[in-house]
Amino acid sequence: MKLLGRLIVRLVAVAIAVSLATFSLLSAAPGDPAAAKAGFAATPERVEEIRSELGLNDPFHVRYADWVTGVVQGDFGTSVLNEQPASKLIGDAMPHTVELMILAQVIALAVSIPAGIYSAQRPNGWFDRLTGAMSFGMLATPAFVLGIYLAFIFAVRLEWLPAVATDLPGPFDDPVENLRQLILPALTLAAGMIAIYVRLLRTDLIETLQQDFVLMAQSRGYSRRRVLWRHAFRPSAFSLLTAAGLATAGLLGGALIAETLFAVPGMGRLAVTAIFTEDYDVVMGVVLLLSLAFVIANFIVDALYAVLDPRVRHGNR
């Protein structure tokens, strides 16, 4: 459990670094929030009043401390949009983004695990070549380009799926409609991951399949399936897990794109809208949460790794 302690220390350290970076970035932003808030007709005195009300005259560290204290208590400030609390806007958007990401991960794993395993069993067979070429292509396709292709094919031409997810129902209210609207953005997000996972799993498995313990499992008369899943796949699954954690960064960036493209009312779109309305409290909150999400995702991966891989658990690696 010393390991877990170390992971937590790292988590906190990165969280502080990320929040500091975000905060200083946004406090350096041009434009005067006090003036924006006071409106066009306000007198300079009024603006000054609001400025001290908002604590904008305080030194940097005080403002940072105030902000962090607020964030920790769930107060992300106020949106310029109807004076709503930023936390409410973020809170409404978050579930959609989380669902989208989970869906994308599930699709990516569901496609890449069988594809990777099949490729590894017959290196350079037709299937392996095909998936190799496709992975290569998918890696070269930016998410928004792929998204446009998908929207054109499935929404415009075939008319199978909606091109926008503007009135997205909750996954439990209307699961079918929910999936219908999210499937294209999720695919857009998943494609890059699929490419990475397949290549990784394939290379890793080919290596594992030649290792002694796999040969030994074969020479004990185990079925192909058993050798593959119980012996070869498990060690390779750990590399896949790491990749999945790292891919979260790409997912977060991709969420900005996919949500904008398909009008999913998630955090990515919220952030994009907020930026154009100079709604900095919301932007700050979203950027902070997205970064933290990445850190936490990797923290979970590391922790899972420690729990699942006995070699790490016992500090042998």
Residues 105 to 164 in contact with another protein, rule: CB under 8 A: 119, 122-125, 128-129, 131-133, 135-137, 139-145, 148-149, 151-152, 156, 163
Cα 70 to Cα 279: distance, rounded to the nearest angstrom: 17
Long-range contacts: 69-73, Cβ < 8 Å, 24+? 71/19, 71/285, 71/288
Closer Cβ to another protein, 37 or 154, answer by number = 154
275-308 CB burial, b ≥16 within 10 A, e <16: eeeebbbbbbbbbbbbbbbbbebbbbbbeebbee
Closer Cβ to another protein, 48 or 239, answer by number = 239
310 binds another protein (CB under 8 A): yes
Residues 266-305 that bind another protein (CB under 8 A): 271-272, 275-276, 283, 287, 290-291, 294-295, 298
Among 58, 223, 229, 307, binds another protein (CB under 8 A): 223
Cα 287 to Cα 95: distance, rounded to the nearest angstrom: 16
253 binds another protein (CB under 8 A): yes
314 binds another protein (CB under 8 A): yes
Q: Which residues contact 36 (CB under 8 A, 6 or more apart)?
A: 80, 278
Residues 65-104 that bind another protein (CB under 8 A): none
234 binds another protein (CB under 8 A): yes
Other CB atoms within 10 Å distance of the CB of residue 136: 11
Residue 139 C-beta: closest distance to another protein, Å = 7
Distance of CA 59 to the CA centre of its chain: 34
Closer Cβ to another protein, 24 or 52, answer by number = 24
Closer Cβ to another protein, 123 or 171, answer by number = 123
Closer Cβ to another protein, 13 or 174, answer by number = 13
Residue 43 C-beta: closest distance to another protein, Å = 27
Closer Cβ to another protein, 182 or 267, answer by number = 267
Cα 106 to Cα 221: distance, rounded to the nearest angstrom: 33
Tokens of 165: 């997810």
Closer Cβ to another protein, 20 or 47, answer by number = 20
Number of residues that bind another protein (CB under 8 A): 85
202 binds another protein (CB under 8 A): yes
Among 9, 29, 106, 110, binds another protein (CB under 8 A): 29
Q: Are 185 and 100 in contact (CB under 8 A)?
A: yes
Residue 174 C-beta: closest distance to another protein, Å = 25
Cα 291 to Cα 9: distance, rounded to the nearest angstrom: 17
Give the residue from 252, 238, 244 showing the smallest Cα distance to 305.
238
Residues linked to residue 78 through DSSP beta bridges, in sequence order:
85
Residue 119 C-beta: closest distance to another protein, Å = 7
Among 169, 218, 241, 303, binds another protein (CB under 8 A): 218
